[in-house]
């Protein structure tokens, strides 16, 4: 297998050549000739983004612990190298050995965000692997997708050989054993795929057929053969304390978006916010044992030399052993290691913890009320009252903080103009709490930054049936918020940022799309669309041309309210949360009814099946 080292001439032509060189601290180096399986792990974005992703580091470490597997990496080349590889017909290569990706046994692509979909086509194209699974030959890698977007794999179905639904710790050993067995017997690519579909969590799109009604909705989604499972059930790792975790994480040469050691303390969330896909698909809540986390923290900091450690979780405040873990980590803070605590609720305990680890004068606090009015917070089941928000703000201001960031969503189901106007009004009420502090005890003005994103309904949430809006309607909502902000008493302390709506519209199509939107992805890529999550690269006009030329209606996917009886593109997946539960929550949302969190009362979502009938959260 030949190596493809970039020449000095090429390296001098590109920005940040360190993205492509490999040889980082803790990179795994093996003799490729001794590996029975070569696996290329891909993050379809630039190195700086991909190197910050914990899931990739976990699988990289787990695969490379096997003597028979060599797992290497590839990231999306930035525009400059992309053009050189295309012009000079140099196939895309791995970082570890500069081997052509097309010569690997597997190409595993983590799918984290819909706006990276064209980069998946870029990876296949530059690797000189046929875009369509149906056109691949025996010598091509098996292209496998995983990650949160794999919970609706249909927009990408034609480009992947198989998808892994759920958490990667559980079934890859089975998949590798099957691959070696089929290979040893001289079996074909198709024989492997036919057998792989019987492994729990594995979905092979080519083994299923879709029929459509005249109105464009799905009439049927069925396996083509009797021995192919009709339902694919997600995989869950229940014993996180003994699961593989990277004690020697890769250390990037470049400054990356999250240049720190990441310690995942738990998976899942007890809160039940109705807009949040992660809160549904990662159920049930599972904690890592604090003793294991202490060992990991020490080993990771020692092996990497990093000067910051971040606790990863959907809701860190809900981790039952947080106080003990923080007491331990404070020993590292005394040695100059920064501690980052995202996803904390703003209460007395959390503020006390943050005071210990942050420079209060420099740092800002983040609240995510998501909706301005109490009515709408009840609709989305946020579980936050205005009293809790204002009391939290008061505690923060009394503790010395003066900078607050507030995150909201616009376009939520049942939203009214009054709900929109309540966003800056709530921000103003928070500012008033600051100015109630005696002037001699304040540190100048407070700074409250309001940020709004536009709501996108996601699969496996109670809002999966909800309609979206068009670009102009979203921007009108943002203008309403901006107008109301100017009317507030403390407007000089308020600042407002809002997202552009073009990307929201596209993200909505690919979040809930079916196989027919794959043609749009291909057309957009052919027109030059890549790095669509990057403002400087995004070209909405090309996307609109692609939809027009493919005859695919954006409104059909976005603006149409789904009936709860409709077959949805992802209905063949069992995500552990029942469709009946999601329907009940959708009805409760429309009625403005709050559902208690899992520790207060079990809502019967179905995830208890993984714990033998009793959830950890309850």
Written as six digits, the tokens of 329 are 């980590």
**Above 80 in pLDDT, residue 528?**
yes
User: Distance of CA 181 to CAs 130, 137, 172, 192, 327, Å?
Assistant: 25, 19, 14, 9, 49
194-230 per-position pLDDT tens digit: 999 999 999 999 999 999 999 999 999 999 999 999 9
Neighbours of 479 (CB within 10 A): 12
Q: Is residue 616 over pLDDT 60? A: no
pLDDT of residue 5: 61
C-alpha distances out from residue 528 to 44, 114, 255, 502, 543, Å: 16, 17, 28, 17, 10
| Residue 13 burial (10 A CB sphere; 0-12, 13-18, 19+) | middle
Tens digits of per-residue pLDDT, 244-292? 999 999 999 888 888 899 999 999 999 999 999 999 999 999 999 999 9
* 29 has a pLDDT exceeding 50: yes
Distance CA 41, CA 533 (A): 21
614, pLDDT greater than 70: no
Instruction: Give the integer Cα–Cα distance in Å for 150 and 234.
Output: 10
* 3-state SS record for 384-429: CCHHHHHHHHHHHHHCCCCEEEEEEEECCCCCCHHHHHHHHHHHHH
Neighbour tally for 34: CB within 10 Å = 9
Please tell me the class of the 260-358+576-618 domain. alpha beta
Residue 82 pLDDT > 70, yes or no? Answer: yes
Going by their DSSP bridges, the two strands 308-312 and 162-164 should be labelled as: unpaired
Show the beta-strand stretches assigned E in 445-563.
Answer: 447-454, 494-498
CA dihedral 430, 393, 316, 377 (to 10 degrees): -40
Does this model's pTM top 0.85? yes
Complete DSSP assignment for 291-342: HHHHHHHHHHHHHH--SEEEEE-S-GGG-TTHHHHHHHHHHHHTTT-EEE--
pLDDT, mean of residues 586-614: 90
- Here the tokens at position 185 are 């017997």
- Rounded mean pLDDT of the chain? 95
From-to residues of CATH 3.30.750.210 in the chain: 260-358+576-618
What average pLDDT score do residues 469-476 get? 97
**Does residue 516 have a pLDDT over 60?**
yes
Decide if pLDDT at 617 tops 50: no
**pLDDT the model gives residue 4:** 61
Contact criterion met (CB below 8 Å) for 425 and 480: no
Cβ-based neighbours of 89, under 8 Å, separated by 6 or more: none
Contacts of 601 (CB under 8 A, 6+ apart): 618
pLDDT band at 618 (very low <50, low <70, confident <90, very high): very low
337: confidence class by pLDDT, cuts 50, 70, 90? very high
Give the pLDDT band (50/70/90) at residue 301: very high
| Rounded mean pLDDT, 511-539 | 97
Report pLDDT for 615.
Answer: 65
Helix (H) or strand (E) run with residue 280 in it: helix 277-281
pLDDT at 3: 56
For range 454-472, the mean pLDDT:
98
Whether the pLDDT of residue 612 is over 90: the answer is no
């Amino acid at each position: 297998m030949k190596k493809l080292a970039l020449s000095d001439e090429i390296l001098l032509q590109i920005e940040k050549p360190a993205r492509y060189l490999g040889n980082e601290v803790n990179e795994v180096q093996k003799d490729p000739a001794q590996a029975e399986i070569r696996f290329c792990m891909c993050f379809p974005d630039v190195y700086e983004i991909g190197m910050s992703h914990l899931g990739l580091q976990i699988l990289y470490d787990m695969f490379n612990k096997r003597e028979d597997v060599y797992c290497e990496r590839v990231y999306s080349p930035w525009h400059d190298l992309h053009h050189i590889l295309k012009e000079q017909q140099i196939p895309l290569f791995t970082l570890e050995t500069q081997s052509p990706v097309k010569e690997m046994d597997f190409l595993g692509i983590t799918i984290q965000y819909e706006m990276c979909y064209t980069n998946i086509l870029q990876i296949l194209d530059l690797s000189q692997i046929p875009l369509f699974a149906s056109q691949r030959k025996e010598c091509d890698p098996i292209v496998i997708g995983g990650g949160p977007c794999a919970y609706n794999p249909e927009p990408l179905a034609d480009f992947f050989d198989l998808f892994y639904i759920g958490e990667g710790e559980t079934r890859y050993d089975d998949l590798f054993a099957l691959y070696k067995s089929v290979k040893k017997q001289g079996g074909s690519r198709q024989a492997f795929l036919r057998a792989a579909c019987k492994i729990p969590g594995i979905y092979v799109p080519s083994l299923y057929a879709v029929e459509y009604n005249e109105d464009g909705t799905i009439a049927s989604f069925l396996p083509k053969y009797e021995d192919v499972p009709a339902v694919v059930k997600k995989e869950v790792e229940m014993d996180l304390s003994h699961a593989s975790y990277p004690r020697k994480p890769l250390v990037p040469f470049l400054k990356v978006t999250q240049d720190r050691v990441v310690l995942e303390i738990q998976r899942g969330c007890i809160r039940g916010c109705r807009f949040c896909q992660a809160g549904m698909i990662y159920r049930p809540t599972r904690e890592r044992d604090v003793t294991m986390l202490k060992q990991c923290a020490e080993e990771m900091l020692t092996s990497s030399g990093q000067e910051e450690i971040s606790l990863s979780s959907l809701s860190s405040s809900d981790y039952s052993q947080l106080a003990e873990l923080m007491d331990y980590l404070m020993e590292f803070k005394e040695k100059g290691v920064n501690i980052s605590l995202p996803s904390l609720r703003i209460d007395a305990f959390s503020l006390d913890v943050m005071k210990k680890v942050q420079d209060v004068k420099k740092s800002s606090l983040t609240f995510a009320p998501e909706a301005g009015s109490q009515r709408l917070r009840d609709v989305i089941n946020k579980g936050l009252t205005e009293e809790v928000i204002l009391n939290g703000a008061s505690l923060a201001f009394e503790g010395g903080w003066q900078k607050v960031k507030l995150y909201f969503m616009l376009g939520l189901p049942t939203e009214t103009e009054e709900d929109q106007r309540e966003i800056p009004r709530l921000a103003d009420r928070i500012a008033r709490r600051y100015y109630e502090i005696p002037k001699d005890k304040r540190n100048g003005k407070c700074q409250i930054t309001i940020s709004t994103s536009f709501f996108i309904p996601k699969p496996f949430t109670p809002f999966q049936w909800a309609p979206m809006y068009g670009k102009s309607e979203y921007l009108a909502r943002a203008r309403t918020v901006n107008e109301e902000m100017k009317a507030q008493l403390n407007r000089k302390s308020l600042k407002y940022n809002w997202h552009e709506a073009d990307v929201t519209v596209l993200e909505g199509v690919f979040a809930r799309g079916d196989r027919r939107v794959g043609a749009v992805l291909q057309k957009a890529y052919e027109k030059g669309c890549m790095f669509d999550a990057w403002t400087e690269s995004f070209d909405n006009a090309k996307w609109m041309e692609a939809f027009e030329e493919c005859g695919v209606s954006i409104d059909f996917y976005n603006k149409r309210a789904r009936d709860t009886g409709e077959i949805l593109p992802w209905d063949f997946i069992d995500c552990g949360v029942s469709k009946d539960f999601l329907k009940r929550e959708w009805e409760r949302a429309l009625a403005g009814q709050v559902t208690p969190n899992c520790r207060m009362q079990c809502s019967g979502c179905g995830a208890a099946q993984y714990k033998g009938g009793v959830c950890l959260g309850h």
